[in-house]
Amino acid sequence: MDFNNGGREAILRMLEAYEVSTRKALCERLEISTSTMSTRWMRDVFPADWIIKCSIETSTPVEWLSFGTGSPKPPQKSLGIQSANKNVLADLFSVPRKKNQRWEIIRFKFLLT
């Protein structure tokens, strides 16, 4: 992976992932300055940090954002397939509220693994 080029194409794919039409709108979504965007655009520097943030926020695959290969949308889970744990909520239970010595209400929650 060459981080010194390919930035423009990646930025264009991020525009599509965030469903915005301008680089300025993308700057607002990424919470970066327009001068930072301009520098990376003009120098064609690959924006790896933005790619990761975009992938997390939009659920767009990193492979598509980085290289343009694969699908821009994550694979949809089939509703007919059950998880390995049939009753996920059975692993999480709550203990009724208890009062401590200062009479403050506390909640206890436990996650069984």
Q: Which of 3, 1, 53, 45 is nearest to 27 (CA)?
A: 53
What local confidence, expressed as pLDDT, does residue 80 receive? 52
Neighbouring residues of 47: CB distance < 8 A, sequence distance ≥ 6 = 7, 10, 11, 14, 40
d(CA 96, CA 101): 16
Do the beta carbons of residue 84 and residue 46 sit within 8 Å? no
Q: Which range has highest mean pLDDT (2-16, 24-38, 88-102)?
A: 24-38
Quick one: pLDDT at residue 3? Answer: 66
Q: How many CB atoms lie within 10 A of CB 3?
A: 10
- pLDDT exceeds cutoff 90 at 35: yes
On whether the pTM is more than 0.85, the answer is: no
Q: What's the whole-number mean pLDDT along residues 21-45?
A: 93
For the cut 50, the answer to whether the pLDDT of residue 23 exceeds it is yes
pLDDT of residue 18: 93
Domain residue extents for the chain: 7-67
CA distances from residue 111 to 3, 90, 95, 108 in whole angstroms, order as listed: 42, 10, 11, 10
CATH superfamily name and code, 7-67:
lambda repressor-like DNA-binding domains (1.10.260.40)
pLDDT of residue 101: 53
State pLDDT tens for residues 39-90: 999 999 999 999 999 999 998 999 999 988 887 776 665 555 444 545 444 4
